[in-house]
Every structure is written in C-alpha cells, then in structure tokens.
Amino acid sequence: MSLDNIHKLKLDLGDKAYDIIIGSGVLDHAGSYLKQLLKRPRTVIITDENVASVQLPRLEASLKVENIEFETLILPAGEPTKSFSQLEYLLGKLLEMRLERSDMIIAFGGGVIGDLAGFAASIYLRGIDFIQIPTTLLAQVDSSVGGKTGINSSWGKNLIGAFHQPRLVLCDVLCLETLEPRHVISGYAEAVKYAFINDREFFNDLDQNIGDLNHIDLKVRCAFRSKIILKSCAAKANIVSQDEKEKNLRALLNLGHTFGHALEAELGYSDRLYHGEAVALGTEIAFALSQHLGFSSEKDSLLVKAHHQKAGLRSANEFSFDAQKLIHHMQRDKKMSDGQITFVLSRGIGKAFLYSGVDMSDIETILNRFFKI
C-alpha cells in the first residue's frame, strides 16, 4: 500500500478521540491497525451476506497475517436486519463466544451493520469497544463516523440506540468497486450534503467534477471518492467534536433527513428509494421550503436540483406522495421538541441553519407543489 494514497484524520473527542483512515487498499492492512488497539489478539467480525461474499476474504487475510484470532458472524443483508430480533441474536452469539469486556468487535459493512454492531457493542457487558470498516459510500462519508448507533422498530427508524464512538474507522475506496452504481450515487447524496451545509467552495468543486464519481478509469474514480470521503469526514469530525450528542450544531447534519425519512417511511423503506436518494429529495424540499419562507433564492433551489440530476439522483417527478401522510411520518420523528419539528433550512448553498416554528400549512403547500399531486 503506497502511503501517498492514504489520508488520516482525527476526530477529537478527548479520551474518546479516534483516527479515520481513508484510501485504496486500507482493508488489506486492517489487521495491523487493529493490533495496536487490541488487549489480546482476538476479535469478532460482524458483517452481512453481501459483504461476506465479496470483501470478507481480504479482511480475514489481514487478520491472519497479524495472528489475530477471529470468529465471523454473517447476518442477512438489508434494512430489516436493524431489528430487535437480530440484536438479540447478535448479543447471544457474543455471550456464547465469551467475548470479554476488553475485547473489540469489527463492524464490517454498510450503515445497517455499523448501526447494529455499534449498538450491540454499546450494551454488551455494559459497553465494549468496536471499530468501523464501512463498505458503502454512504457509511464511509457519514454513518460510520460520529458514534450514532441503533436499530429500527415498529415505531420508526433509529428511535432506539445510543451514542457509542468507534475506536477507529477504516475507509477503503476499493470496497466500493463491487457496489452497483446506484448505491454509490445514493451515498454521494450524503457527501454533497456537507457542501450544502457550510462549504460553498466544496460544492463548486463537486459540481465541476461530478463526472469523476463513476469515471471509467479506476484511478480517477478512486481519487475522487477518496477526496469526497476525506472532505466529508473532516466536516463531520469538526461538527461532532463540538457537539457529540446533538444538542444543537450536529443537528445541521440532518439536512434533508426529516423529509427524507418521511419519504422512506411512506415507501416502507423499500428499494424503490434508497436512503441517500431520499435525503437528496429531502434536501430539495428543504431548499423549496427555505425559498417559500423567504430565506433563500429560487436560483439556489434550482442549483441543488440540477446538481442532484447531474449526479444521477432521483427526481421528484418519478413519485407521487400524499402530503398529509408525509406530515404524519414527520411528526413521529425523534427530532421533535416540545411538539415542534426543528428543520434544517438554508440561506443559500453553504449556509444551513436550524429553524423551529414552521407552520404545518406551509409544509403541506410545499409538499403538494414539490410532488405536483
């Protein structure tokens, strides 16, 4: 592995600080990174069937080189795995393996595995360490960093969970090579989100170079993907280090999520709309609402939409939603406070802010206009 291609960032959280390592081929050195953190050479890999079939041999080989003993738990792939029943199964297996409090587990997969394994780590023996090796772009630019873990329930997505920081995050862009392009594009929505929040220059760069995301040349696409992971993780690390438990600033990272979660919930979290695709549409709605309330211009709303289209994200014209049903889902969101939803709105690209007190009639107007029902 050439060190030129490897970037290292620190998420500065005092005694919970950790490194985020980004580049091509990082996975093949996972064992040597992990060894420095282990008290005894033993670990458990938690992954899913899809990742196991294409990426697991590389991780296992890197552990064997370092003489680290391991067991592997392979769960079904997909959002339904983030459930009470899989959590119970996982905890049972860890107990059966007699994993000790000073041991560490590896969450090896996308956001579902990261959230579930991280939550299991947060409650197993009242909390053990874990590391994140995210294998999707969405997990590499967002969910593996910052310590949000949890599961879904019949009451909604991510309502049960804990803040539990990993000890290390390893992002290997070569893991993205086995993903279908739609998955990569969906994850990209969470990267450009950081530009929309507070980095206009990053947006200009992305808008000019978006063609490199799925470029035919491996070197070009890997370099572009490494760059956006690095920029996204640095932006996220900066925010999380100031507001780990989402008391205020961190809520900006939810740009597009209140609307996006409602769209996903209405479609039953199905493959009709991936999470990143929902966030992209949610971001467009947030800009439409900001424009309607007089905070941002039509030009900004059009730029956001045009950029999403260039990236290959979904368009609102493909869907039709009942505004009342979406509002109902939004009211079950955990971001409610005193019965009010806090929205992430915008004064223009790179100028997001938090705002409570939006009238539900304005939301209904915007949703009806957006989906042209």
43 vs 254 by CB, closer to ligand GLY:
254
Separation CA 46–CA 199 (nearest Å): 35
Strand partners, 161: 150
Active site residue 261: yes
Dig out the tokens for 102 from the structure: 């000073």
Which of 172, 244 has the CB closer to ligand GLY?
A: 244
**Residue from 16, 182, 215, 250 that binds ligand GLY (CB under 6 A)?**
250
Per CB under 6 A, 253 contacts ligand GLY: yes
Q: Which of 250, 332, 351, 369 is catalytic?
A: 250
Binder of ligand GLY out of 7, 148, 157, 308 (CB under 6 A)? 148
Nearer to ligand GLY, 182 or 250 (CB): 250
Stretch that binds ligand GLY, among 25-33, 141-149, 180-188, 364-372 (CB under 6 A): 141-149
* 3 burial via Cβ count (<10 Å: 0-12, 13-18, 19+): exposed
Q: Toward ligand GLY, which CB reaches closer, 31 or 166?
A: 166
Q: Does 256 bind ligand GLY (CB under 6 A)?
A: no
How many other CB atoms sit within 10 Å of the CB of residue 358?
A: 17
Tell me the one-letter amino acid at 329.
Answer: H
Torsion on CA atoms 138, 143, 288, 228, rounded to nearest 10: -50
How many residues can be counted in the chain?
373
Q: Is the distance from CB of 6 to CB of 174 less than 8 angstroms?
A: no
Contact flag: residue 333 with ligand GLY (CB under 6 A): no
Among 146, 150, 166, 187, binds ligand GLY (CB under 6 A): 146
Q: Which residue number has the CB closest to ligand GLY? A: 253
164 is annotated as an active-site residue: no
Helix orientation angle between 84-96 and 111-123, rounded to the nearest 10 degrees:
60
Question: What's the CA gap between 365 and 289, in Å, rounded?
Answer: 9
Residue number with CB closer to ligand GLY (45 or 230): 230
Contact status: 142 vs ligand GLY (CB under 6 A): yes
Neighbours of 47 (CB within 10 A): 25
The residues that are catalytic are 126, 148, 190, 236, 246, 250, 254, 257, 261, 275
